[in-house]
Amino acid sequence: MKSKGTAMAGTAAPTTNGPTLLTARDLSVGYGDHAVCAPATFTLRPGCALALVGVNGAGKSTLLRTCLGLLPPIDGEVTLLGRVPDPRSGRQRRAVARDLGEESFFPTLTVAEHLALVCYGHSTPAPERTAAELLEEFNLTGLANVLPDELSSGQRRRLALAAALARPRCLLVLDEPEQRLDHVTRRTLARRLVAEREAGIGILLACHDAEFVSTAATDVLLVGANTRLLSVTDGVRAITEGTL
Ligand SMILES: Nc1ncnc2c1ncn2[C@@H]1O[C@H](COP(=O)(O)OP(=O)(O)OP(=O)(O)O)[C@@H](O)[C@H]1O
């Protein structure tokens, strides 16, 4: 992945009705009536990046999924763009780009065709240029004509992340985007997230990497038995000292 600033072209964020992208108030998440962590309260505004940190099984992915409306809350409230999250609504689909690690690709479409498909499907301005810039940025240009089955696990991750960034968005939701990326690519992606928030996009991510959180996040939510907001400094310290 190459560090560059041009791939923001063609991915201008749609406007939102208010300053808040996402709010959670006493939000309890889990499966059935079993909460997996203590309730969460936070607000995410444009230009900010909230990193969810916590041990394995703490509930970070469950919280992300609930914020997107993929799981119902057990209790409390969550609003996305001022409404109850609904992944089927056109409004939410237009505004929210996500990579939750699903990585489902069409087996007979190449790397470049996947990016083109996302660009055209989401009416990305300048789709060809945007796709070409993302191929370059994610070091996929040499793999443009390769099929997904021929990619390494890290290359598949890079394609999934490039696809999330190939479409307009005002909110970006990423579940452990650093996973399976080499060190250089992790650093470059973290800097890319800084550019995203400087462009006014809000970011909600789950992450285990202290350096990544330190670079990319503006706030930290420690998820667990005592879910609470921390400064980035304290969140990074909790990761490195193992006091999550
Ligand atoms: N579909 C499911 N049904 C029931 N329980 C689940 C389901 N998915 C996850 N869980 C449980 O919910 C808890 C939280 O899981 P979650 O995936 O949210 O954790 P996490 O913080 O993202 O963990 P990790 O850092 O390992 O990715 C875990 O105890 C897990 O076993």
Tens digits of residue pLDDT in 150-177: 999 999 999 999 999 999 999 999 999 9
224 lines ligand 1 (CB under 6 A): no
Q: pLDDT at position 244, please?
A: 84
ipTM of the complex: 0.98
Q: What is the largest CA-CA distance in the chain?
A: 49
**With 60 as the cut, is the pLDDT of residue 11 above it?**
no
C-alpha of residue 30 to centroid of ligand 1, in Å:
8
Give the pLDDT mean for 17-25: 84
Q: How many residues does the chain have?
A: 244
78 lines ligand 1 (CB under 6 A): no
Determine the Cα–Cα distance for residues 167 and 162; give it in Å rounded to an integer: 9
Mean pLDDT, the chain, whole residue set: 92
pLDDT at 32 over 80: yes
CB 66 near ligand 1, within 6 Å = no
Is the Cβ–Cβ distance between 77 and 25 less than 8 Å?
yes
- Is residue 128 scored above 60 in pLDDT? yes
Query: Is 195 a residue whose pLDDT tops 80?
Result: yes
pLDDT in tens, 37-88: 999 999 999 999 999 999 999 999 999 999 999 999 999 999 999 999 999 9
- Model confidence, pTM: 0.93
Q: Is the CB of 61 under 6 A from ligand 1?
A: yes
Q: List C-alpha distances in Å: 136 to 104, 140, 159, 173.
A: 22, 6, 11, 22
